[in-house]
A and B are shown apart, each in its own frame.
Chain A
């Protein structure tokens, strides 16, 4: 087979495995859910993943850690969250701060 065809095989395999993984989570026995440990793990995983996604989205650039306009933007976002601003205001403000700083040539 051509490399192009092999890439299609890989895409199809990745798609099938991605769906099966997602589907499995929705069909595990209900009994698993009555275990408080499963509930606790699920809650902590949510916090852990959000924190990791936030940290890498704010500071990672490829495989390096950089401090750029994103840091100022999320600092503004944190202040707005602390002041109980609406979610959409927080997100738009962060984009505006980062875009503005980059327009000025920083980060």
Chain B
């Protein structure tokens, strides 16, 4: 089953690259004034990197708990759209399975699942579960390490992990750029996200880029679906 092997290989790569960032989250969360238990509660229960970084960023910047919750939740809205995108090959699910799937419905699990061939339901499911559970395990384990080590740890950038994460996103994007329209949406989204980076709190530029993509999909004629 070479397609399933490819899906698992991608899942493990993304899990390790993403999980490694748990180190900086754990350390930054403790630096923001949360304790190890609160830090772990965020990684275990919120489990969405952008939302978590937004939460501790607002707290660290002196923002209120309500502002932290609002920013975190707004950044998590995209996860709701992911459930819809996953539906064609994930449904139907039993209630407990659905709850588990919901908890691990994040950027990475959705992206790796959708990067598999559209007609291969088995590969897409394998990619979703392996990436979702893989990132969950790696992210939480490494968050704990980061929280415990605090500021004593080195910079993940010294290991090139920030570049590795960028390369992972590029690798997931690459096969989806076949159509001109997909290329245009990708370019517009990237430009919008970068243009808004100096202006908006971290994470919101990505949400704005998603809004650009939604508008493009809403108005576009029917044929070229980048899937």
**What residues make up the interface of A, taking CB atoms closer than 8 Å to B?**
4, 6-15, 17-19, 21-28, 30, 32-33, 36-60, 62-65, 69-70, 73-74, 77-78, 81, 86-88, 90-100, 102
**B51 contacts A by Cβ under 8 Å:** yes
Q: Is the CB–CB distance between A19 and B198 below 8 Å? A: no
In the bound complex, CA of A69 to CA of B218 (Å): 37
**23 A-B pairs (CB sep. < 8 Å):** A10-B59, A11-B55, A14-B68, A15-B41, A18-B46, A19-B103, A21-B73, A22-B82, A26-B105, A43-B227, A48-B188, A48-B212, A48-B213, A55-B191, A57-B162, A57-B169, A58-B170, A60-B197, A95-B163, A95-B167, A98-B160, A98-B163, A99-B158
Name the interface residues of B22-71: CB closer than 8 Å to any CB of A.
33-35, 38, 41-42, 45-48, 51, 55, 59, 65-66, 68-69
Residues from chain B with a CB closer than 8 A to the CB of A23 are: 83, 98-99, 102
B161 touches A95 (CB 8 A): yes
Of A10, A27, A45, which one neighbours B217 at CB under 8 angstroms? A45
B210 within 8 A of A: yes
What residues of chain B have their CB less than 8 Å away from a CB belonging to chain A?
A: 6, 9-10, 12-13, 17, 33-35, 38, 41-42, 45-48, 51, 55, 59, 65-66, 68-69, 72-73, 76-88, 90-91, 93, 98-99, 101-103, 105, 107, 110-111, 114, 157-174, 176-177, 182, 185-194, 197-199, 202, 205-206, 209-210, 212-214, 216-218, 220, 222, 225-227
Partner of B41, one of A11, A24, A45: A11
Partner of A7, one of B34, B80, B206: B34
Interface of A is mostly: helix
Contact A77 B170 (CB under 8 A): yes
A-B residue pair count with CB separations less than 8 angstroms: 313
Q: Are A22's CB and B80's CB within 8 A?
A: yes
A14 to B55, Cβ gap below 8 A? yes
